[in-house]
């Protein structure tokens, strides 16, 4: 490409998204003959290989916008489009693109997509409107001490949730019920207090989904969560199992969340709980980015739509069609844990052993499926380092591995596959490991 090629600006990303950044850069080059500029803190040599220009700046820094404008000066005339690809950058990254005259969703309203507290504030202001649309608006308070938890507990004896204002992956999220130790709950959120924490009314709805997409093109993903003290995600499933009433409620609620956080053209991933009768919903949290747990990859396999390409097209001015095709198949992202508390590393798996392949084969056998009916699309260890893992995960980093599977058959529900695969994995992992017994964690 020439020195006059158009440029796509990518503002920050989480390390787990590096393959998605590579995909975006490759598509921009192939479709629009565009080079890429990446801004992120402490860029790696791999970043330099992915993108044509790399700038070391932190989007959370107070002087980020002015510093970025200065660093971009030699490239400014070539900038044609930009994407904001992390929660940390959602507000200042959007403001930077606005200053550059590039298409982006509102920076002024973006705080609600970064801070859970800011979103609850905006919800409370629109409480009458939202409740008229059958959206529950949880009561909340900022939490700065155990005393704050005690006062909120007195007002909400049926239970509440304490969580950090600006953390992802369910880190620090604790469900507090009558009789639970408030000191212990506060201790779990304490490491995140620098960016604030909140107590919020417990949402009584059991089922959880996410409203995902780009622009006006959307789909609904079904979330499978653990029950109990740590409500971590254990799977994401497509297509979601919904009737027309439930789908309408979720779509209405997701669009209202988008309205509050200023989403119009860009990506969104809004986590929403749904009542048993499907008539009411409540927003757990909104996001102005692609969903985690490879949700857009699931959409690609199920609907045969590449949402990363659609996102790039949209910032170059190509408005996506708002119509979603019927699903071609089912798919799920599954979090895989360990059988008991202890230290674990992938190196513990004996050479030549493949616990995921064994677990998948056992799952297929359980439901009389062929290799063409149920197959693996992606697998990766969460970390290659030896670390302490819990049998009952406390956040999404507290798993051993993550897998994406596709189901072509309609003879079994994908949710049954998720349950079976997680069970068979524990058996297969234990059998495949070189050690005789997992090292127990100290009490």
Axis-axis angle for helices 64-72, 92-99 (nearest 10):
40
* Number of neighbouring beta carbons within 10 Å of residue 278: 18
Q: Which two tokens stand for residue 210?
A: 């996410």
* pLDDT for the residue numbered 188: 77
320: Cβ–Cβ under 8 A, 6 or more apart, which residues?
Answer: 214, 215, 216, 217, 310, 313, 314
Within its chain, how far is the Cα of 190 from the centroid? 23
Q: What is the CATH number of domain 7-104?
A: 3.40.50.20
Q: Which two tokens stand for residue 60?
A: 């959370």
Q: Quick one: three-class SS letters along 311-346?
A: HHHHHCCCCCCCCCCCCCCEEEEEEECCCCCEEECH
Within its chain, how far is the Cα of 235 from the centroid? 11
Dihedrals φ, ψ of 377, to 5°? -105, -40
Are 210 and 291 a contacting pair, CB within 8 Å? yes
Task: Write the DSSP assignment of 143-194 as a string of letters.
Answer: --SHHHHHHHHHH-TT-EEEEESS--TTTT-EEE-TT--HHHHHHHHGGGGG
* pLDDT for the residue numbered 435: 54
Dihedrals φ, ψ of 65, to 5°? -65, -50
Task: Please give the model's pTM, rounded to 2 decimal places.
Answer: 0.90
Are 57 and 69 a contacting pair, CB within 8 Å? no
* pLDDT for the residue numbered 168: 58
Give domain limits for the chain: 7-104, 139-201, 204-327, 329-443
437: Cβ–Cβ under 8 A, 6 or more apart, which residues?
Answer: none
* pLDDT for the residue numbered 173: 80
* pLDDT for the residue numbered 167: 63
Please, what's the b/e burial string for 13-24 (b: 16 or more CB within 10 A of its CB; e: otherwise)? Answer: bbeebeebbebb
Dihedral, CA atoms, 39, 44, 45, 49, nearest 10 degrees? -40
Tens of pLDDT along the chain (443 residues) come to: 667 899 999 999 987 899 999 999 999 999 999 999 999 999 999 999 999 999 999 999 999 999 999 999 999 999 999 999 999 999 999 999 999 999 999 999 999 999 889 999 999 999 999 999 999 999 998 888 888 888 888 888 888 888 887 765 556 687 888 778 888 888 877 777 777 788 899 899 999 999 999 999 999 999 998 877 777 889 999 999 999 999 999 999 999 999 999 999 999 999 999 999 999 999 999 999 999 999 999 999 999 999 999 999 999 999 988 999 999 999 999 999 999 899 999 999 999 999 999 999 999 999 999 999 999 999 999 999 999 999 989 888 899 999 999 999 999 999 999 999 999 999 999 999 965 444 443 33
Are 37 and 53 a contacting pair, CB within 8 Å? yes
The residue ranges of DSSP E strands in 71-124, in sequence order, are 79-85
Topology at the third CATH level for domain 139-201: Dna Ligase; domain 1 (3.30.1490)
* pLDDT for the residue numbered 169: 54
Domain 204-327 has CATH 3.40.190.10: no
């Amino acid at each position: 490409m020439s020195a006059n090629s158009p440029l796509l600006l990518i503002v920050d990303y989480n390390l787990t998204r590096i393959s998605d950044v590579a995909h975006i850069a490759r598509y921009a080059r192939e479709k629009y003959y565009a080079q890429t500029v990446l801004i992120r803190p402490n860029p790696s040599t791999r970043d330099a290989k992915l993108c044509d220009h790399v700038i070391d700046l932190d989007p959370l820094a107070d002087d980020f916008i002015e510093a970025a404008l200065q660093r971009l000066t030699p490239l400014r005339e070539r900038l044609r489009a930009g994407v904001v690809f992390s929660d940390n950058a959602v507000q200042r990254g959007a403001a930077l693109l606005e200053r550059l005259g590039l298409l982006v969703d509102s920076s002024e309203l973006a705080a609600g997509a970064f801070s859970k507290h800011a979103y609850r504030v905006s919800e409370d202001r629109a409480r009458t409107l939202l409740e008229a649309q059958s959206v529950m608006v949880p009561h909340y308070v900022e939490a700065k001490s155990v005393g704050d938890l005690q006062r909120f507990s007195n007002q909400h004896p049926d239970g509440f949730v304490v969580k950090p204002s600006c953390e992802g992956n369910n880190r620090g999220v604790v469900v507090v019920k009558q009789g639970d130790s408030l000191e212990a709950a506060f201790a779990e959120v304490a490491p995140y207090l620098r960016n604030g924490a909140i107590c919020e009314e417990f949402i009584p709805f059991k089922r959880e989904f996410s409203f995902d997409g780009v622009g006006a093109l959307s789909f609904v993903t079904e979330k499978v969560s653990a029950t109990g003290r740590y409500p971590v995600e254990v799977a994401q499933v497509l297509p979601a199992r919904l009737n027309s009433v439930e789908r309408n409620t979720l779509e209405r609620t997701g669009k209202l969340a988008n309205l509050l956080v200023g989403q119009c053209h860009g990506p969104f991933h809004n986590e929403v709980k749904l009542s048993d009768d499907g008539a009411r919903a409540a927003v757990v949290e909104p996001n102005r980015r692609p969903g985690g747990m490879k949700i857009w990859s699931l959409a690609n396999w199920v609907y045969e739509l590449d949402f990363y390409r659609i996102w790039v097209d949209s910032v170059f001015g190509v408005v996506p069609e708002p119509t979603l095709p019927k699903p071609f198949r089912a798919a799920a992202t599954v979090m895989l844990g360990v059988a008991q508390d202890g230290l674990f590393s992938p190196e513990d798996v004996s050479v030549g052993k493949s616990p995921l392949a064994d677990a998948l084969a056992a799952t297929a056998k359980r439901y009389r499926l062929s290799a063409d009916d149920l197959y693996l699309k992606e697998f990766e260890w969460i970390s290659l380092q030896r670390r302490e893992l819990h049998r009952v995960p406390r956040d999404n980093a507290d798993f051993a591995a993550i897998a994406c599977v596709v189901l072509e058959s309609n003879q079994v529900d994908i949710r049954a596959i998720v349950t079976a695969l997680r069970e068979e994995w524990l058996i297969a992992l234990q059998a495949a490991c070189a050690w005789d017994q997992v090292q127990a964690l100290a009490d």
